[in-house]
A and B are shown apart, each in its own frame.
Chain A
Amino acid sequence: MKQLGDIAGVFAYLSLLTVGGGMAAFPELKTLTVDTYHWVTFPEMLHFYSLGQLAPGPNMMMVVSIGAVVAGLPGAAVALIAFFLPTGILTWAIGRVWTRLATWRWRPAIQTGLGSVSVGLVLAGAIIMGRGAVTGILWGAIAVVVFLLLLKTKINPAYPIVASGLVGMLAHWL
């Protein structure tokens, strides 16, 4: 029970930080699941995070994987509900008022201001993720190639990311 409570607390808290996208919560996700609770190692967390990017639907379904690793199916269910219910209620409530605030003079300021902050949080998450993912020239090169490919083409990201995994296996074989 204690573990389920911890899972609920951690993922409900993390969900409130996902302003502008899941990556904004990445630094705290690493601190809590790896350093504080030792539920997963940093490489394990990276693996789940990256698989979660490939999976369909919301791109943070890796919280369910961590819940399952810690406490099986109940852990997965608790992580899912904790991560999506509090922000869901918030979005639902604010969504109903927000359209009425179309002419509120502070609204553009909030939208623009929080936009910059969320880009900053995504950048911080990318830096922290890079420390774990880019452990050599090869991995850095993979990240750069995927970046350029996705920036310049409209290809589905799933293809280059799976190809990255195959390159990793090739490097292991060589």
Chain B
Amino acid sequence: MNEASSPTEPPAVAPPSLGRIFWVFLVMGATSLGGGVVGYLRTGLVVRNNWLDDVTFVELLSISQTLPGLNATNMSILVGDRLRGARGAVLATVGMCLPGAILMTAAAYAYGIGGDDPWLKAFLHGIAAGALGLIVVVMVQLGSRVLKEIADYVIVLATAAAVAFFHVSVPYALIAAGIVAIWWHRPRAGKVHKPHNAPIGERHHE
């Protein structure tokens, strides 16, 4: 991973222009309908533009998932930074966010006008039920990559129960469960850990 030690260094080919970075992320930000943004990112960055190889993509994705922030914007920042430094990171993130932000602002105004309509309410209630199905799939996919031993499942259930049933606020649960989980997996002599990387080519609904 020594070649990654300087994030502004071009990966393989000449780095794209800032305008090109903004445009590619804007297109991904506008077309990644339905939540499968990781799949769109891989198509846009690895397959179409050859800005990253698959190994780097998975590496950056695992950083994105470990840090706070959404995968879509964390990936934009990490990739933009690698291609053209801080300005690349800013333009990639703005491009990724702009279309969705405009749409959801418009949605808020439309909702203010027609939100009491019973037909719209029925439609949105149906969408909420469907979105719940999507979220559980995302959780199962994330879990199948991350959860390896019984202790991991215990952490999952304890964290979920504390927050959902005992009203422990998320930061406390995050810190307490995080410390226990990291300590459980602490580095020990003679034991080789492998980071959990996402399999390539599989559709992720995140």
Bound Cα distance A16, B69 (Å): 7
Interface size for B (C-beta < 8 A) is 113
Of B29, B93, B129, B171, chain A has the most CB atoms within 10 Å of the CB of B129
What DSSP secondary structure best describes chain B's contact surface?
A: helix
CB atoms of A119 and B70 under 8 A apart: no
Q: Which residues of A contact B143 (CB under 8 A)?
A: 119
- B83-135 residues at the A interface, CB under 8 angstroms: 86, 89, 93, 96-101, 103-105, 107-109, 111-112, 115, 118-119, 121-135
Q: Which residues of A contact B196 (CB under 8 A)?
A: 111-112, 115
Proximity bits, B67-84, A CB within 8 Å = 1, else 0: 111111110011001000
Of A76, A109, A113, chain B has the most CB atoms within 10 Å of the CB of A113
CB atoms of A21 and B142 under 8 A apart: yes
Total number of residue pairs linking A and B with CB closer than 8 Å: 423
Taking the closest CB of chain B, its distance from the CB of A174, in whole angstroms, is: 10
Q: Which of B33, B111, B132 contacts A65 (CB 8 A)?
A: B111
Q: Beyond A99-B5, A172-B119, is A119–B178 a contact (Cβ under 8 Å)?
A: no
Q: Beyond A95-B7, A100-B5, is A53–B100 a contact (Cβ under 8 Å)?
A: no
Q: Which residues of A contact B68 (CB under 8 A)?
A: 15-19, 87, 90-91
Taking the closest CB of chain A, its distance from the CB of B170, in whole angstroms, is: 5
CB atoms of A47 and B105 under 8 A apart: no
CB atoms of A58 and B133 under 8 A apart: no
Of all A-B residue pairs in the complex, the 8 with the closest CB atoms, nearest first, are A168-B126, A120-B159, A164-B130, A146-B133, A158-B34, A57-B100, A113-B181, A87-B69
Q: List 13 A-B contacts (CB under 8 A).
A: A31-B169, A44-B111, A47-B111, A48-B107, A87-B73, A91-B69, A99-B4, A119-B142, A122-B135, A133-B125, A154-B203, A159-B34, A168-B126
| B contact residues vs A (CB 8 Å cutoff) | 1, 4-5, 7, 28-37, 59-60, 62-74, 77-78, 81, 86, 89, 93, 96-101, 103-105, 107-109, 111-112, 115, 118-119, 121-140, 142-143, 145-148, 152-153, 155-165, 169-171, 173-174, 177-178, 180-187, 193-196, 203, 205-206
Apart from A50-B130, A119-B146, A129-B132, 13 more pairs, CB < 8 Å: A18-B68, A44-B111, A47-B124, A53-B134, A95-B60, A108-B187, A112-B152, A112-B195, A114-B181, A116-B155, A121-B160, A124-B160, A143-B130
